[in-house]
Structure 1
Amino acid sequence: MGLGRGKISLALLLLTSSFCVEIITAIDTITSTQFLRDPEAIVSNGSIYTLGFFSPVNSTDRYVGIWFNEVPVVTAIWVANRNKPLNDSSGILAISKDGNLVVLNGQQEILWSSNVSNFVSNSSAQLSDTGNLVLRDNNNEEIMWESFQHPSDTFFSNMKLSANKRTGEKILITSWKSATDPSIGSFSAGLNRLDIPEIFIWKDNYPYFRSGPWNRQVFIGVPYMNSAAVDGLNLVDDGEEQTRWEHGMEDRIVLWSVPMFDCEFYARCGPFGSCNAQASPICSCLRGFEPNNPEEWYRGNWTSGCIRRKSLQCERVKSGSEAAGKNDVFLKLGKMKVPDLAQWSRLTEIECKDRCLTNCSCIAYAYNSGIGCMSWIGDLIDVQEFPTGGADLYIRMAYSELDGNDRKKVIVIVSAVVGTITSAMICALLTWRFRSKHRARKEGGEKLPSDTNEKHPSFLDRDMTGDSMDHVKLQELPLFSLESLTAATDGFDLSNKLGQGGFGPVYKGKLSDGKEIAVKRLSRASGQGLKEFMNEVEVISKLQHRNLVRLLGCCVEGEEKLLVYEYMPNKSLDAFLYDPLRKQLLDWKKRFNIIEGICRGLLYLHRDSRLRIIHRDLKASNILLDPELKPKISDFGAARIFGGDEDQANTIRVVGTYGYISPEYAMEGRFSEKSDVYSFGVLLLEIVSGRRNTSFYGNEQALSLLGFAWKLWNEGNISALVDPAISDPSSQAEIFRCIHIGLLCVQEFPEDRPSASTVVSMLNSEISYLATPKQPPFAERKHHINEERLHQNEEKCSINYVTVTGVDAR
């Protein structure tokens, strides 16, 4: 992981600066007699890493750093003299007389040192194939110093960030000051807690982002994070340290990144406030609380947070007014990012609740089997509501805060418990009677149904909730057995996991005939279920187009629900587009073909197929790439089929992804073909710029990529939006035309946006004249935000973002 240059990026590797090395020697070790003089370099034994002198892009200063040896775009992952650059090419990296590794200038002044206090007469520094530069005492082979214990902005394979329990010292990664200046910047990242490990990012030593607690698989405050085995992330208590490791590979795939949304900035809604990225406004007070400063709160300044509406019974008892009312209650809030500053204990779930209930100072508790008991006695800070994932948070509140429905739920829950126990007893009795009769009949020689060739009911006969339509839909597809798919994926082994979506995990598999497949398995913990499963079956089974992913079949057995797709070896568009190295493979010609292919697939859905389909979740991660990097639209779980005379519809259940949802859909639940066109416009601008819509923040005076593009359009500086990787004068006109089309697609009102068929004609220049685009939604910051808020939330949407990445072998 790494902290970005001008960005904050917690990532395995980070693209920051390009440079070249003029001379590379064959050795991997520096000794007292073998030193490096600029521009010489050494290479690790397996030719994986290089150590030498470099200059960042657009800079003449010289630094000593480590980078990948054979990666086309060289990336500095460690820098020695980051705060004291050389101003010429006279630099030397050598072993000093006291055994330290030092960087010297032409006047033999020490600009940087490993700074080991013990004098060693015979030492050497070796660059390993893990990227670690190790200084050893050659007399006893003891490690004196290593670069892994003194990282720069990048956290990569086999490195560990640690927090020492005895001393409280932490090993952190720190950002570059800018793309041209590797000196220590404003941001740092590392582990903050020892009892409940969390990753924190700090800006100028103040919390900027918090991951939520580690539950032995994921950080529960990052709901889109996959399991540890997929992300290559692990935390181990070795007695003194909390450790993180990552297996070593060459290519990188961004697995998750933070902050992605406005809600992920620390304490966004103040004490006792809750943030929901899908709500408008995003901040609200927790149940039983009200704005501390109503005037500022309703103007969008949420930092003052919320206060309790009614005193707790505990508080009234303490003040002497015991006749106040009934005892306090705990209200369950599901799918929450639990607050910061939790107290931790090893109590069971029941013990956790009882302790908090009997302790008037305890205002909230949560329990997670991978973490234990968490409780809070002060302000609840940095609370967030998720659509899926998170944890159940129980908040103490006055009984009088419960409404009639809440009180009925208490009775219903009690009744349900009694009913469940009764049902269990009845089932047990019936089972016992059935087995007794079965045994008696068998002993009497009677032939039982199980002894015959009679066909027993399958899932399709019995378990499809009695919906004959579902039966028909499934019979239109080839059916795979669970046994065959289990064998194809090696038992759904984590090594075959391709990714994770709202539906559930996706695995790579190989059938007995050698055909490769992708298997989407409905997660039991998924926010989606049978409805989305059947929706995808119904929609995609009827579609055939080269720019749509092909559904090969499905499997429904017991509680298992799986969809089988053609396998896409290049995974999804976002794996290329937002990766500093892989994006270099997408030149402008390939990107234009991807843009055109997506639009043709969209046109087929809207107009050319036998159904009219609105996708409703068009985004980079739902665009798969075949071996030739041709795009295929995937994931139809949220799609909606329109009747012949329908042109729009309304819903109270808005589905989709933040940043891609059109304003009329997000605000009013109204969607149409133009909703997909809006999402396509966002995606088009992302492809041209190489940046996420949600990665544009305060430093660029825009809330999003759309706002930034609109600002540059009005300034006549649209070239600044273009990804440097595709900046080519010969393609400039076509690139600018695509930006123009993208801005037409993201106009605020649906009637102003072109249809998919019109966009195809625009891309092919069949329509030469393009109208002047109107301002997209959310293009400008709200001017009523006062200076105090800007100071308190400085760079709340900065250009800094964090990514944790994993890598796959080439």
Structure 2
Amino acid sequence: MAAETSSLTQSQFLSNRETLVSPGGMFELGFFNLGHPNKTYLGIWYKNIPLQNIVWVANSAISINDSSTILKLNSSGNLFLTQNNTVVWCTSSEEKAQNPVAELLDSGNLVIRDENEAEAEAYLWQSFDHPSNTMLPGMKLGWDLKRNFSVFLKAWKSYDDPTPGDLSWGIVLHPYPEMYMMKGPKKHYRHGPWNGLRFSGRPLNTIYHYEFVSNQEEVYFRWSLKKTSLVTKVELNQTSQEHQYYVWSEKTWTLYSTMPKDYCDHYRVCGANTYCTTSASAMCDCLKGFKPKSPEKWNSVEWSQGCVLQHPLNCEDKLGDGFFFMDGLKVPDTEYTFVDETIDLKQCRAKCLNNCSCMAYTNSNISGAGSGCVLWLGDLFDIKLYSNPEMGQRLYLRFNPTKLDKSKTKENIERQLRVLDVTLFDLSSIRTATNNFSLNNKIGQGGFGPVYKGKLVDDREIAVKRLSQSSGQGITEFMTEVNVIAKLQHRNLVKLLGCCFQGKEKLLVYEYLINGSLDIFLFGM
């Protein structure tokens, strides 16, 4: 090939010392090495950028070590890279063309098409469908559902070895699809699902315009530049285990952003039913209504076992459950979800209540007034809470409000009793002391209920005031009485030893005094 050209036809071939250059001079295709003369590759690079400029490699798994290598386009419309007449790499288009041509575009995309067909839909093959470690503007990552074909990035083993590593980045087809960075078969980082405006785990930015499409034919993500004069790329880096956004500025690549960005971005660091926030001293916390599965490990800052429900949900009486919401979240992993784009948030709540395994819900699209419904089924994983509520999105989480409120009441009362230095007796010990509230132990009766004499296991004699359910005295009034009596200290006043509230029982335990003093007024005898 004597002159600079952007295309290759059947009558031409590309040798070791020749290149294709895109029409605008942005990209170049040819043979290169990365400091290893015996390891040569066919690839695409920025023509006028001297640093870290390789954006695509054809034969990344098999290097070339012979100058006799050539690139040809055959009559069926496939490219063949040969060394000593042995095929090293080739394309695999099943479509045929009468007059095939391979062309390098100014987007950095190498395409094979019929010379009379310029539309992207008519491409027989394109390098954008087979990326290496770099994503360029306009490139799609995702799935062609008609072909059951996935497009994803694969990191190089190192900066000078384009052999594929084990770090990849692409879309996983969950019911609510989202983008994952995978390390081998394991999830390493996820963006959070697309919510109509952005990925729920990523803020909006000023440089890129994101596009996410999900329909019956394809599911993909791509980005473009708001300022077309900028030169930018995304690289997947095996060494740092990140994808890195670069902008070419003042003769160097400037690192614009990286993901994962912090500890909470790493997948599932806090375990099930938790949320992670880097602004807190303890980065992991249980969701409301949950408690650590292993308190000992949790207190030792070992959070991976996560949290479990404090109280079972009301599956028999589904309407007995409630929801609370949290704003500013990267919503949970979407592997076990159900999506209905046709219903609103109110209908979504009802659908969640009618499914005992549903633990959370929200709009699938938060743009405008919000629309669609997504339910999370089972344990919730990989939730991140942002300090800025405008990042992330709102999530409605299910819990048992009745049992949770009772639990909180008990915790509050126990805390108050410790402050008053009042003992909390167990109901079984009171039953034993009073012979199960025997009539023979009854020593008085008032509007509040009966009083029983008893003896504790340490031989102390007690008088037990048992509030009846008809007294009208609730837990608030009960604690007010405990608070007043506990603070009164007088030699003529009977002493409050403690109390008991368990199930429907509310009991005050006093020291027992024979005759006299003011016990007659206290007990109404």
- Please name the residue that 2:180 is paired with: 200
Q: Give the Cα separation in 2 of the matches to 1:373 and 1:99.
A: 45
- Please name the residue that 1:259 is paired with: 260
Out of 312, 328, 335, the position equivalent to 1:335 is: 328
Q: Give the Cα separation in 2 of the matches to 1:286 and 1:75.
A: 46
Q: CA deviation digits over 1:198-248, x for unaligned, max 9?
A: 2211111322111112122211111x3327xx4221123465123424145
- Please name the residue that 1:474 is paired with: none
- Please name the residue that 1:112 is paired with: 89
**8 Å Cα contact 1:78-1:154 kept in structure 2:** yes
Aligned pair in 2 of structure 1 residues 110, 339: CA closer, same or farther (>3 Å)?
same
- Please name the residue that 1:226 is paired with: 205
Aligned pair in 2 of structure 1 residues 217, 139: CA closer, same or farther (>3 Å)?
closer
| 1:148 partnered with 2:128 | yes
Q: Give the Cα separation in 2 of the matches to 1:304 and 1:167.
A: 40
- Residue 55 of structure 1: CA displacement? 0.9
- Residue 186 of structure 1: CA displacement? 0.8
Q: CA deviation digits over 1:690-723, x for unaligned, max 9?
A: xxxxxxxxxxxxxxxxxxxxxxxxxxxxxxxxxx
Q: Give the Cα separation in 2 of the matches to 1:137 and 1:205.
A: 39
| 1:344 partnered with 2:339 | yes
Secondary structure of 1:301's partner?
A: coil
- Please name the residue that 2:404 is paired with: 401
- Residue 41 of structure 1: CA displacement? 1.1
Secondary structure of 2:198's partner?
A: coil
**8 Å Cα contact 1:218-1:226 kept in structure 2:** no
Q: CA deviation digits over 1:68-92, x for unaligned, max 9?
A: 1111325111110111111233321
Secondary structure of 1:296's partner?
A: helix
Aligned pair in 2 of structure 1 residues 73, 403: CA closer, same or farther (>3 Å)?
farther
- Please name the residue that 2:480 is paired with: none
Q: Give the Cα separation in 1 of the matches to 2:231 and 2:93.
A: 35
Secondary structure of 1:297's partner?
A: helix
Specify the code of the residue in structure 1 equivalent to 2:340: S
Aligned pair in 2 of structure 1 residues 120, 357: CA closer, same or farther (>3 Å)?
closer
**8 Å Cα contact 1:57-1:179 kept in structure 2:** no
Secondary structure of 1:313's partner?
A: coil
Secondary structure of 1:163's partner?
A: strand
Q: Give the Cα separation in 2 of the matches to 1:226 and 1:402.
A: 42
- Please name the residue that 2:111 is paired with: 134
Out of 5, 8, 13, the position equivalent to 1:35 is: 13
- Please name the residue that 1:377 is paired with: 377
Aligned pair in 2 of structure 1 residues 279, 58: CA closer, same or farther (>3 Å)?
farther
Aligned pair in 2 of structure 1 residues 293, 58: CA closer, same or farther (>3 Å)?
farther
- Please name the residue that 1:62 is paired with: 40
Q: CA deviation digits over 1:609-633, x for unaligned, max 9?
A: xxxxxxxxxxxxxxxxxxxxxxxxx
- Residue 46 of structure 1: CA displacement? 1.0
Specify the code of the residue in structure 1 equivalent to 2:112: L
- Residue 359 of structure 1: CA displacement? 3.2
- Residue 333 of structure 1: CA displacement? 2.2
**8 Å Cα contact 1:36-1:92 kept in structure 2:** yes
Specify the code of the residue in structure 1 equivalent to 2:382: D
Unpaired segments ≥5 residues, structure 2:
233-246, 248-254, 410-525
Q: CA deviation digits over 1:96-117, x for unaligned, max 9?
A: 3543201111x21111001224
TM-score (norm 1): 0.43
- Residue 164 of structure 1: CA displacement? 3.0
Specify the code of the residue in structure 2 equivalent to 1:361: S
Q: Give the Cα separation in 2 of the matches to 1:166 and 1:293.
A: 47
Q: Give the Cα separation in 1 of the matches to 2:3 and 2:51.
A: 20
Specify the code of the residue in structure 2 equivalent to 1:402: D
**8 Å Cα contact 2:146-2:218 kept in structure 1:** no
Unpaired segments ≥5 residues, structure 1:
1-22, 319-325, 407-810
- Please name the residue that 2:213 is paired with: 236
Secondary structure of 2:268's partner?
A: coil
Out of 92, 95, 100, the position equivalent to 2:73 is: 95
- Please name the residue that 2:508 is paired with: none
- Please name the residue that 1:484 is paired with: none
**8 Å Cα contact 1:225-1:256 kept in structure 2:** no
**8 Å Cα contact 1:335-1:391 kept in structure 2:** yes
**8 Å Cα contact 2:30-2:44 kept in structure 1:** yes
- Please name the residue that 2:489 is paired with: none
- Residue 154 of structure 1: CA displacement? 1.2
**8 Å Cα contact 1:42-1:51 kept in structure 2:** yes
Q: Give the Cα separation in 2 of the matches to 1:157 and 1:55.
A: 25
- Residue 379 of structure 1: CA displacement? 1.1
| Bigger Rg, structure 1 or 2 | 2
Q: CA deviation digits over 1:37-95, x for unaligned, max 9?
A: 11321211111110011112466410011111111325111110111111233321122
**8 Å Cα contact 2:77-2:113 kept in structure 1:** no
**8 Å Cα contact 1:24-1:42 kept in structure 2:** no
- Residue 385 of structure 1: CA displacement? 1.1
Specify the code of the residue in structure 1 equivalent to 2:163: S
Aligned pair in 2 of structure 1 residues 24, 263: CA closer, same or farther (>3 Å)?
farther
Aligned pair in 2 of structure 1 residues 135, 296: CA closer, same or farther (>3 Å)?
same
**8 Å Cα contact 1:25-1:40 kept in structure 2:** no
Q: Give the Cα separation in 2 of the matches to 1:402 and 1:335.
A: 25
After TM superposition, list the pairs within 5 Å mapping 1:279-290 onto structure 2: 279-290=280-291
Q: Give the Cα separation in 1 of the matches to 2:17 and 2:322.
A: 69
Count of residue pairs brought into register by the alignment: 373
TM-score (norm 2): 0.65
Q: CA deviation digits over 1:287-341, x for unaligned, max 9?
A: 22222233433333322222112222226x69xxxxxxx9222122222211112
- Please name the residue that 2:101 is paired with: 124
Comparing both structures, which one devotes a greater share of its residues to helix? 1
Secondary structure of 1:354's partner?
A: helix
